[in-house]
Chain A
Amino acid sequence: MNEQEKIRLTPAARLGKWLVSGPPFLFLLLFFVAPSIIMVLASFRYPGEFGALAPIASADSDTLHGLTLETYEFFFSDIIYSYVFFKSFLVALATTLICLTLAYPLALLIARSPKKSRDLMVLLVVLPFASSFLIRVYAWMILLGPQAALSQVINGMLGVFGIAQVYLLFSPFAVLVAMVYVHLPFMVLPLYTNLEKHDPSLLDAAQDLGANAWQRFWQVTFPLSLPGIFSGSALVFIPVLGMFAIPDILGGTGDMLIGNLIKEQFLATRDWPFGSTLSIMLTIVVLLLVWLAVRLGRTRGRYA
């Protein structure tokens, strides 16, 4: 708790505080906490005959179903599910790292540009949001398709060396490309926000004290940007972990990630309890990672 929260408020101020924070609080309660509880409960039940959940109480004792741990047993009985988790984790990690390496120089460039051009550059970074997410992903279908220039050029070159043709579309490569493309702004923005606040006199001081450009970056700019790196990474890693649309559209049949698996349980297999279990496992993994990131960020961000 920080100092300001310890200050005692007048009744009017307290009321004002509730009026302001009340609606978003209710919203979260209604649309996040409540569904989460429903999901946790659902994961302990049996699937209904035609989807949904089997009733807990029934007049007919043959169809009577109680609560069960079956779905959790099922999850751990087959290594395939852990494997899908692991694969999704790797995709999310790769996407995050690629986004970071692409976004860092860009964010640094924007942050060090003259003030006037900065806003325009930030606008360009967020401009893709102006068109629909699905349209942008479908666009990659065309760009990576076998008739597209990219495939033609690559396969043309491979042909010269007598190497078999490659198909860019419907591959882990296509998924990764689109994942990076879609999430790049989420990495650029927090990084830029952080880098833009750096005091330029720190770099002058470092240079004055004998640091060359390389040392100035690694000793000053980089450590000071760690909070930006953490928040950007969280904003990329977490959505990628649960993403199903991109693998659905660009990944082809073989490439299933957790997001697809969960979607499958609800829409195709109609096994709600197992879908809930998978979602809970995913949530636990994400919370663990967030907790880890916060801990890391706290020791690093002592000065902030």
Chain B
Amino acid sequence: MALLEIRNVTRRFGDFVAVDNVSLNIEAGEFFTLLGPSGCGKTTILRMIAGFDLPDAGQIFLDGRDLADTPPEKRPLHTVFQSYALFPHMSVAQNIAFPLKMARRPQAEAQKMLHEVLEQVHLADKADAYPHELSGGQKQRVALARGLVNRPRLLLLDEPLGALDAKLREEMQIELINLQKDVGVTFVFVTHAQVEALALSHRIAVMEAGRVAQVDEPSKLYGFPQSRFVADFIGHINMLQAQVVESAHGHTRLAIAGLGEVIASLHSGVTAGAKCTFAIRPEQVRIGTHGEVSELKNHFPGTVHNFLYRGDVTVYKVQMENGLLIEALLPNAAPGRAELYEVGDAVRVGWRHDAGVLLHE
């Protein structure tokens, strides 16, 4: 049985459907992420799990028990708010001890739990400081510690890293992974940053306008998106309009207007003549001279339309003969730009026969 089961939950605000018939199963010990663009209903789902909002239809079960009649303060789960919501009149230690006090833990036990979690979030030396004396990262840690100290069944985190700068964010991501592993508490994490979701999660639910578009492990989600929305939302991807020529003999052959024939791995459930989208990640596209890419099954001529030097990689946009733009990533393995193609250079792009996915919509 799943630790948390969300069953056919719908939430409307007036005529607007913020959460539309969502069903999710979250297992004990999991780092589960709700990912989606702004306004897709992530916070609304989290608020319903925490009990601050109630579903118009559907149920939420924790350990198999329906939560409908349990007020927020009685639910064995805690939330880390985006604004942290630290109590300004309490010291770090008092803030973190708050849930222990509310749960009436015996003094000695509470002290032990408090010190344990203070060590875990590296705040032992800040125990007597007040929230206004802390940096953003430290406040973040206090909020985390406060949510974890009473060992909830579930910790809900609503864009907890949103207020941090890029560097600190990366540090906190690593800490978050370690912390979750250490304490073994199930995390339900909300973010609209796909890189963060991929880096942190065991499983991700991608949401689109109140609905769950796909639930999968990060690598599956990235490698095998099931819809144009998911493919486009997570990372960069080239999407080419295609028509199935033949789907047999271990591969699927596609005709892409203006480009020619493309060989892709076998997709069951497509028949010759079906229209679909062929989607391929830029890092799967090689760029080079004819000799460099000719061993690949698929390769086509084009000219460099523009490029972006990003330090670790250079992103090339190559214009194909039919005007189509294909994005390709070239890692800068050697100092400087690895291979210097200039705008207007004639190049070839190519990819393996098993790269890319077919999306039929």
Residues of A at under 8 Å CB distance from B? 199, 201-202, 204-212, 215, 219-220, 223-224, 300, 302-303
> Which residue of the partner chain, among B89, B102, B132, B147, contacts A211 with CB atoms under 8 Å?
B102
In this complex, which of A204, A209, A210 has the most chain B Cβ atoms within 10 angstroms of its Cβ? A209
| CB atoms of B85 and A210 under 8 A apart | no
Mask for B74-89, Cβ within 8 A of A = 1, else 0?
Answer: 1000110101011111
In this complex, which of A199, A206, A210 has the most chain B Cβ atoms within 10 angstroms of its Cβ? A210
A207 cross-chain contacts in B, Cβ below 8 A: 52, 71-73
| CB atoms of B102 and A205 under 8 A apart | no
B130 cross-chain contacts in A, Cβ below 8 A: 302-303
| CB atoms of B73 and A212 under 8 A apart | yes
**Besides the contacts A202-B87, A204-B81, what 12 more A-B pairs have beta carbons closer than 8 Å?**
A199-B83, A205-B79, A205-B86, A205-B87, A206-B98, A208-B72, A209-B98, A209-B146, A209-B150, A215-B102, A303-B131, A303-B132
> Which 10 interchain pairs have the tightest Cβ spacing?
A210-B102, A205-B85, A209-B99, A303-B88, A201-B85, A208-B79, A207-B72, A223-B89, A207-B73, A210-B73
A205 to B85, CA, bound (A): 6
| CB atoms of A202 and B85 under 8 A apart | yes
- B interface residues, how many (CB within 8 angstroms): 25
A207 to B47, CA, bound (A): 12
Closest CB-CB distance, A217 to chain B, in whole Å? 13
| CB atoms of B102 and A303 under 8 A apart | no
B132 cross-chain contacts in A, Cβ below 8 A: 303
Q: List 30 A-B contacts (CB under 8 A).
A: A199-B83, A201-B85, A204-B52, A204-B72, A204-B85, A205-B79, A205-B81, A207-B72, A207-B73, A208-B50, A208-B52, A208-B73, A208-B78, A208-B79, A209-B78, A209-B102, A209-B150, A210-B73, A210-B74, A210-B99, A210-B150, A211-B102, A212-B73, A215-B102, A219-B87, A219-B98, A223-B89, A224-B89, A302-B130, A303-B88
Closest CB-CB distance, B28 to chain A, in whole Å? 20
A208 cross-chain contacts in B, Cβ below 8 A: 50, 52, 72-73, 78-79
| CB atoms of A199 and B73 under 8 A apart | no
Residues of B at under 8 Å CB distance from A? 50, 52, 71-74, 78-79, 81, 83, 85-89, 98-99, 102-103, 130-132, 146-147, 150
A302 cross-chain contacts in B, Cβ below 8 A: 89, 130
A199 cross-chain contacts in B, Cβ below 8 A: 83, 85
Count how many pairs of residues, one from A and one from B, have CB atoms less than 8 Å apart in the complex.
Answer: 62
A210 cross-chain contacts in B, Cβ below 8 A: 73-74, 99, 102-103, 150
Closest CB-CB distance, A282 to chain B, in whole Å? 34
Closest CB-CB distance, B46 to chain A, in whole Å? 11
A223 to B88, CA, bound (A): 10
Task: Please give me the residue from chain B that is nearest to A220 by CB atom.
Answer: B87
Task: Please give me the residue from chain A that is nearest to B99 by CB atom.
Answer: A209
A152 to B354, CA, bound (A): 98
Closest CB-CB distance, A278 to chain B, in whole Å? 40
A300 cross-chain contacts in B, Cβ below 8 A: 89
B89 cross-chain contacts in A, Cβ below 8 A: 223-224, 300, 302-303
Task: Please give me the residue from chain A that is nearest to B94 by CB atom.
Answer: A219
Task: Please give me the residue from chain B that is nearest to A198 by CB atom.
Answer: B88
A224 to B89, CA, bound (A): 7
Closest CB-CB distance, A211 to chain B, in whole Å? 5
In this complex, which of B52, B86, B89, B146 has the most chain A Cβ atoms within 10 angstroms of its Cβ? B89
B52 cross-chain contacts in A, Cβ below 8 A: 204, 207-208
A84 to B40, CA, bound (A): 69
A211 to B71, CA, bound (A): 11
A219 to B101, CA, bound (A): 11
In this complex, which of A201, A205, A215 has the most chain B Cβ atoms within 10 angstroms of its Cβ? A205
A212 cross-chain contacts in B, Cβ below 8 A: 73
B74 cross-chain contacts in A, Cβ below 8 A: 210
A224 to B73, CA, bound (A): 21
Closest CB-CB distance, A232 to chain B, in whole Å? 18
Closest CB-CB distance, B138 to chain A, in whole Å? 15
B83 cross-chain contacts in A, Cβ below 8 A: 199, 201
Closest CB-CB distance, B15 to chain A, in whole Å? 21
Task: Please give me the residue from chain B that is nearest to A213 by CB atom.
Answer: B73
A219 cross-chain contacts in B, Cβ below 8 A: 87, 98
A67 to B150, CA, bound (A): 72
A250 to B261, CA, bound (A): 102
Task: Please give me the residue from chain B that is nearest to A300 by CB atom.
Answer: B89
A211 to B147, CA, bound (A): 13
B88 cross-chain contacts in A, Cβ below 8 A: 224, 303
A208 to B78, CA, bound (A): 6
| CB atoms of A211 and B81 under 8 A apart | no
Closest CB-CB distance, A302 to chain B, in whole Å? 6
Task: Please give me the residue from chain B that is nearest to A223 by CB atom.
Answer: B89
Task: Please give me the residue from chain A that is nearest to B50 by CB atom.
Answer: A208
Closest CB-CB distance, B4 to chain A, in whole Å? 16
Closest CB-CB distance, A96 to chain B, in whole Å? 23
B98 cross-chain contacts in A, Cβ below 8 A: 206, 209, 211, 219
Task: Please give me the residue from chain B that is nearest to A204 by CB atom.
Answer: B52
Closest CB-CB distance, B3 to chain A, in whole Å? 18
A302 to B132, CA, bound (A): 10
Task: Please give me the residue from chain B that is nearest to A216 by CB atom.
Answer: B73
Task: Please give me the residue from chain B that is nearest to A224 by CB atom.
Answer: B89
Closest CB-CB distance, B17 to chain A, in whole Å? 24
Closest CB-CB distance, B54 to chain A, in whole Å? 14
Task: Please give me the residue from chain A that is nearest to B147 by CB atom.
Answer: A209
A219 to B90, CA, bound (A): 10
A97 to B50, CA, bound (A): 39
A224 to B87, CA, bound (A): 9
A223 to B87, CA, bound (A): 10
B87 cross-chain contacts in A, Cβ below 8 A: 202, 205-206, 219-220
| CB atoms of A201 and B131 under 8 A apart | no
Closest CB-CB distance, B139 to chain A, in whole Å? 13
A215 to B72, CA, bound (A): 14
Closest CB-CB distance, A208 to chain B, in whole Å? 5
| CB atoms of A201 and B103 under 8 A apart | no
B50 cross-chain contacts in A, Cβ below 8 A: 208
